[in-house]
Each structure stands twice: as structure tokens, then as C-alpha cells.
């Protein structure tokens, strides 16, 4: 007879979820008993790293991923990383080991009290099965909930004494089950979109991370070219939905109400695809849109649609909608925008390297299909201006701004995309949130290049302190760190690059290597 344990592994195998990320505790050991040979367990030394690795893997693969956490404490450790997974719509199936059922009510050690409430509101669904026989069904529901639009993390608390219980033959029906969604607009909805676009005199397009997630990048390019529209990336960009050297590309919109309105001045219609309207950050009040500007919004997320403060929204599958819409649109007789000029090199000076110089070297030497995992928040603008990204799935940034994403996410991305180069560009402040991820890169022999931009400060915070007139805030400098020594302590080769020549030499050697490498680069501080 099948057990909860055997049925669960059959379910995971059928769904292709054979890579599991975790940091086990005693409550999880019964699940890991007789771990199948066709599965792999990726160990992180902290639950924040575990979720960061799983997040990167899910983003790059587009598939649901099982995460194995330890009760309440492990869940709590993972919550910071979970904020990014929530806003990036990562289909993570988080399981947390619960104390044995007879001991939950008396709050024995490692009992997860009121377990389903703990991860909220950062999960789509949270559940603890009422009986052992319900565990396989609950996990099946969790996988489908995580995968259906809008995708996102889910949470299941499982008492550890459930795994050995028998289940009846009907449980096997769960293994073969599939759930699919369909989101193609009706002909009348497409006609409505077409008419509004056709009537626009000077339209613009704003593209968000959902475009890249649904691999609709080339459809977005075709749409921009068909209507000769300047193409912006939505603010707080966590992915790159549009090639950055295309003539239509105009950069990333600022994350402020007045700043966005200023950039969109003169456009009578703005078409936003695959992004919230909008992810603001700086408190710079103003009009949401310029006078006389209409906004159309296409998204797969009903929550993003409902909370938008302006515009008309269509909720549907982006890829299918763009495929259906493009043949209905006539080629515009407007000229394509002129490509943005390439930025000039920053004059080299003695001392620390400018981040712009690092990015120019990176752009010149890294293969064109390189995947960049970026978590240097004070260098975002310079990176987008100087590093060309032309392929889908080429850029990942923490979707909620929660630090600790970059190092582990690069590991997850490389596990999902072993044939593409992966370069992680991480600030020294960010790196310390998840530094133990370097151990996992070494243990799983992943040839990732970790570039640590070391400016001895929280650069983005310094900029904000000037904006908010808080020049006397403590805790903004972080001197005295040796990332080469830290890397060596985890068994990782590391190089200190204090000149452009040294950086380019280390980068070239790292790209040719089959081992991970950390390059520590002392840099100047620039504005985000």
C-alpha cells in the first residue's frame, strides 16, 4: 500500500519537481528518509539563502519548485527572501515541517503555532492538512495554486508523523492530474484594444517583468516596431523585457509619480504590459499621468489590475494576447525613434574604479547570452545604460528590494540554466545578507562569477539621506570587510581587482573556468 511519503515523491516526480532546496531540521527528516536517487537536494546554510536559490531557479526555469523549511523558526528566517518571491510571482511550494500532531496543542518545542498565519500575506495560499491522508491532496493543490496565474509562493505545514501513514489507491489519481489556464481575450476585447492603439497620435509602451517571465519579449519588440513606439521598462525593474540597444528602447522609468509623469509627457496613450501601474519608491507626489494621456494596461495579475489608480485594464495571458493582437494592427507610418546614444567612458583616475568602468569592461568581455543577477542598488542606472541585454531571461533583480537575493539567486539561476554564463553583480552591503550562499556555489561546483562592488557604504541609502534631508543618520558606512578572505573561508577562489586591467584579467579567466570565482572590486560611490 502507498504511503503519504511515497505518494508525495511520485507526485513531485510527475511534475518534474526533482530539485529540492532546503535546510533541514528534525521535523523534516521523516520526509527526507530514503531520498530518491533521481532527486537532488540543494542545501543552503540559512533559510533566506534557501528561498533565494529556489527563487532564482523558479524564475529562470519557469517551473514550480519545492522548498523544505524547518517549522516556525525556519519560516521566519525565510520571510525576508519571501518578499522578493511574492513580488516576482515565483511559483515556490514552501513546505515546513511541523511537530508531531499529538504535541502541537501543548506547544512542544518546534511546534509551529497557528502555522498557516505565519507566512501571510506573502503567500497565495497557506494550509495545514487536517489529517495525514490529506497531505498528498494538499501538496497537489499547492503545486497547482503556485503555478496558476498570477503565479506565486504557497505554504504547507506538515506534521512529521504524517509521512509514514498509509493512503488509499485514490491518492494515485493526484499524481496524473493536470490543471491548465486559458487567457486569450475575446474578439471584441482585441478590437477595443486595436481601436485605441490605432487612434493614438503619439503612443508609448511600458514593459514589465511579466513580459520576460512569459517569454513575450520578441512580441513586445514587434509591437513597438509596428506602432513606432518608444519602449520604457517599468520602474523598479526586476527583469529585462526589451533589448537594451534596440532603437525603441528608452531605459527604465523612475520609481516616482512625478518622475514618471514627466517622462511620459507628450504621449496621448501609454500601453503598460506585464507590470503594475506602477511600482513607486520615492515619495515624489504629482499627477499620475500627464494631462490628456490615456493608459491601457495588460496584465495576468488580477490584484495588479484591481489596485491600479488609473487606466483601463485587460487581464489575460500576455503571450497569447500579444500574438492575437499583432496581426490586427497596421504598420504605423511614424518613424522609429532614434537609438539612445551610448554613454561615454568615465575618465580613469587613480584610486578606486568607477562602477561605470566595471560595467563597460563587463559589457565588452562577457558573452552576449550572459545572465546577470544584480543586487547593487546604488548602480542600477549605470548598469542599464552600459550593459547590453538582448536575450530573454538575461536579468534578475530583487523584486521587492529585499536584500540578500543576489548571491543565492545566482546559484538557482545557474542550476536552472547550466549552459549560459551567470554573473552576479553584488554590492558589499547586499552581499552580507546572504554571504553563506558562496558555500553552496562551491559544493555544487557552479561556475558563477560573483563581482562584489565594494564602496564601504550603503550607497543607495546615502543618496536617500540627501533626498530626505537626513545627512546625520548613523549606520550608513560599512568599512573593514575583506570579501576575498570571506570567500576563501567558504572554499571559494577570490581575486582582489584594484585596476581595470586586473578586473578584466580576472573576469576573462573566470569566464573560461569551470569553477566559481569571486572578484572583489573597490569602487567609488555613485547615485542610483
Please check whether residues 122 and 57 belong to one and the same domain.
yes
Is the same domain home to 168 and 69? yes
Residues in the chain: 528
Q: What strands lie across the sheet with 92-98, from one edge to the other?
A: 40-43, 19-22, 65-70, 92-98, 154-159, 126-127
Catalytic residue chosen out of the listed positions 48, 80, 401, 459:
401
Show the cell assigned to 184.
486569450
**pLDDT tens-digit series, residues 416-432:** 999 999 999 999 999 99
Burial of residue 5 (number of CB atoms within 10 Å: 0-12, 13-18, 19+)? buried
CATH of the domain at 469: 3.40.50.970
Is residue 280 one of the residues assigned to a domain? yes
Query: What do you get for the CA distance between the two ends of the chain, in Å?
Result: 60
> Is 401 marked active-site?
yes
Query: 372 near 232, Cβ under 8 Å?
Result: no
In the structure, what pLDDT confidence band is assigned to residue 459 with cuts at 50, 70 and 90? low
The residue from 5, 10, 28, 238 that is catalytic is 28
- What span, in angstroms and rounded, lies between the C-alpha atoms of 294 and 289? 8
In the structure, what pLDDT confidence band is assigned to residue 462 with cuts at 50, 70 and 90? low
DSSP label at 208?
Answer: -
Find the radius of gyration of the CA atoms of the chain: 24
Q: How many domains does the chain have?
A: 3
Eight-state DSSP code of residue 349: -
Q: What is the mean pLDDT of residues 238-251?
A: 98
Pick the most confident of 90-94, 165-169, 172-176: 90-94
Per the structure, the complete domain to which residue 100 belongs is given by: 4-176
Looking at 114, 144, 176, the residue that finishes a domain is: 176
* Residue 283 within a domain: yes
Place 465 in a pLDDT band, splitting at 50, 70 and 90: low
User: Which of 16, 26, 165, 513 is an active site residue?
Assistant: 26
**Confidence bin at 457 (pLDDT 50/70/90):** confident
End residue of a domain, out of 176, 195, 217? 176
Q: What is the pLDDT of residue 183?
A: 84
Whether residue 203 sits in one domain with residue 170: no
Residues 251 and 365 both lie in one domain = no
Is 133 catalytic? The answer is: no
Residues 102 and 137 in one domain: yes
The answer on 213 and 161 residing in a single domain is: no
Q: Is residue 308 part of a domain?
A: yes
Mean pLDDT of the chain: 94
* Assigned domain for 295 exists: yes
Give 497: exposed, middle or buried? Use CB within 10 Å, 0-12, 13-18, 19+: buried
Considering the domain architecture, whether residues 301 and 375 belong to the same structural domain is answered as no
pLDDT of 323 strictly over 70: yes
- Domain stops at, among 176, 196, 218: 176
Instruction: Say if CB 172 and CB 8 are below 8 A apart.
Output: no
Q: Where does the pLDDT of residue 464 fall: very low under 50, low under 70, confident under 90, or very high at 90 and above?
A: low
What is the enclosing helix (H) or strand (E) of 95?
strand 92-98
If asked whether residues 440 and 482 sit together in one domain, one would say: yes
Backbone angles phi, psi at 519, to 5 degrees: -115, 115
Query: What is the DSSP secondary structure assignment for residue 254, as one 8-state letter?
Result: P
pLDDT of residue 460: 64
What was the pLDDT predicted at 170? 87
| Residue with grid cell 504590459, as numbered in its chain | 273
pLDDT of the residue at 468: 67
Reply yes or no: is the peptide bond before residue 150 cis, omega within 30 of 0. Answer: yes
Q: What is the pLDDT of residue 13?
A: 97
Whether 188 is catalytic is: no
In a domain, 296, yes or no: yes
Spot the catalytic one: 5, 10, 22, 25: 25
Same domain? 171 vs 253: no
Cell 581575486 belongs to which residue? 495
171 and 24 both lie in a single domain: yes
Return the CATH number at 207: 3.40.50.1220
- Asked if the structure places residue 381 within a domain, the reply is yes
Note the pLDDT tens digit of each residue in 78-101. Answer: 999 999 999 999 999 999 999 999
3-state secondary structure of 450: strand
Active-site option among 172, 196, 259, 281: 281
Q: Is residue 226 part of a domain?
A: yes
Percent of the chain with pLDDT over 70: 98
Choosing from 47, 356, 462, 520, the catalytic residue is: 47
Burial category of 478 from C-beta neighbours within 10 Å (exposed 0-12, middle 13-18, buried 19 and up): middle
The band of 463, judged by pLDDT with boundaries at 50, 70 and 90, is: low
SS3 61: helix
Which of 454, 438, 435, 458 lies closest to 446, judged by CA? 438
Q: Is the pLDDT of residue 272 over 70?
A: yes
Contact call for residues 126 and 119 (beta carbons, < 8 A): yes
Q: Is residue 429 part of a domain?
A: yes
Query: 147 and 194: one domain?
Result: no
Strand partners, 426: 375, 452
Model confidence pLDDT, tens digit, residues 187-213: 999 999 999 999 999 999 999 999 999
The reply to whether 425 and 296 lie within a common domain is: no
Amino acid at each position: 500500500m502507498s504511503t503519504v511519503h511515497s505518494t508525495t515523491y511520485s507526485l513531485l516526480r510527475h511534475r518534474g519537481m526533482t530539485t529540492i532546496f532546503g535546510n533541514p531540521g528534525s521535523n523534516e527528516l521523516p520526509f527526507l528518509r530514503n531520498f530518491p536517487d533521481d532527486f537532488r537536494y540543494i542545501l543552503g546554510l540559512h533559510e533566506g539563502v534557501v528561498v533565494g536559490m529556489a527563487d532564482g531557479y523558479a524564475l529562470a526555469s519557469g517551473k514550480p519548485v519545492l522548498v523544505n523549511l524547518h517549522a516556525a523558526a525556519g519560516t521566519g528566517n525565510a520571510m525576508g527572501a519571501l518578499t522578493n518571491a511574492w513580488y516576482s510571482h515565483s511559483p515556490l511550494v514552501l513546505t515546513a515541517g511541523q511537530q508531531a500532531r499529538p504535541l502541537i496543542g501543548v506547544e512542544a518545542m518546534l511546534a509551529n503555532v497557528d502555522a498557516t498565519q505565519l507566512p501571510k500575506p506573502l503567500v497565495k495560499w497557506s494550509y495545514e492538512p487536517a489529517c495525514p491522508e490529506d497531505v498528498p491532496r494538499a501538496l497537489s493543490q499547492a503545486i497547482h495554486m503556485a503555478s496558476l496565474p498570477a503565479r506565486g509562493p504557497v505554504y504547507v505545514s506538515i506534521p512529521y508523523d504524517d509521512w509514514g501513514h498509509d493512503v488509499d489507491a485514490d491518492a494515485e489519481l493526484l499524481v496524473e492530474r493536470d490543471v491548465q489556464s486559458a487567457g486569450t481575450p475575446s474578439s471584441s476585447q482585441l478590437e477595443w484594444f486595436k481601436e485605441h492603439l490605432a487612434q493614438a497620435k503619439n503612443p508609448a509602451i511600458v514593459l514589465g517583468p511579466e513580459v520576460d517571465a512569459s517569454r513575450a519579449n520578441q512580441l513586445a519588440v514587434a509591437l513597438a516596431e509596428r506602432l513606432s513606439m518608444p519602449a520604457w521598462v517599468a520602474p523598479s525593474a526586476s527583469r529585462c523585457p526589451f533589448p537594451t540597444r534596440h532603437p525603441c528602447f528608452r531605459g527604465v522609468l523612475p520609481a516616482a509619480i512625478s518622475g514618471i509623469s514627466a517622462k511620459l509627457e507628450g504621449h496621448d496613450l501609454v500601453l503598460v504590459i506585464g507590470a503594475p501601474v506602477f511600482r513607486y519608491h520615492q515619495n515624489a507626489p504629482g499627477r499620475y499621468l500627464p494631462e490628456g494621456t490615456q493608459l491601457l494596461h495588460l496584465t495576468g495579475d488580477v490584484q495588479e489590475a484591481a489596485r491600479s489608480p488609473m487606466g483601463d485594464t485587460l487581464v489575460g495571458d500576455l503571450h497569447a494576447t500579444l500574438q492575437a493582437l499583432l496581426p490586427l494592427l497596421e504598420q504605423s507610418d511614424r518613424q522609429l525613434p532614434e537609438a539612445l546614444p551610448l554613454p561615454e567612458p568615465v575618465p580613469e583616475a587613480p584610486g578606486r574604479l568607477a562602477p561605470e568602468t566595471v560595467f563597460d569592461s563587463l559589457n565588452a568581455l562577457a558573452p552576449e547570452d550572459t545572465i546577470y543577477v544584480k543586487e547593487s542598488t546604488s548602480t542600477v542606472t549605470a548598469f542599464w545604460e552600459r550593459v547590453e541585454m538582448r536575450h530573454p531571461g538575461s536579468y534578475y533583480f530583487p523584486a521587492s528590494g529585499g536584500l540578500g537575493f543576489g548571491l543565492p539567486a545566482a546559484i538557482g539561476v545557474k542550476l536552472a540554466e547550466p549552459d549560459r554564463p551567470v554573473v552576479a553583480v553584488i554590492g558589499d552591503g547586499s552581499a552580507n545578507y546572504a554571504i553563506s550562499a558562496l558555500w553552496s556555489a562551491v559544493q555544487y561546483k557552479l561556475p558563477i562569477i560573483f563581482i562584489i562592488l565594494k564602496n564601504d557604504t550603503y550607497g543607495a541609502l546615502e543618496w536617500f539621506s540627501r533626498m530626505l534631508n537626513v545627512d546625520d543618520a548613523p549606520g550608513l558606512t560599512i568599512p573593514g570587510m575583506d570579501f576575498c578572505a570571506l570567500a576563501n573561508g567558504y572554499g571559494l577562489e577570490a581575486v582582489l581587482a584594484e585596476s581595470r586591467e586586473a578586473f578584466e584579467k580576472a573576469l576573462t579567466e573566470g569566464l573560461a573556468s569551470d569553477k566559481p570565482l569571486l572578484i572583489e572590486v573597490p569602487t567609488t560611490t555613485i547615485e542610483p
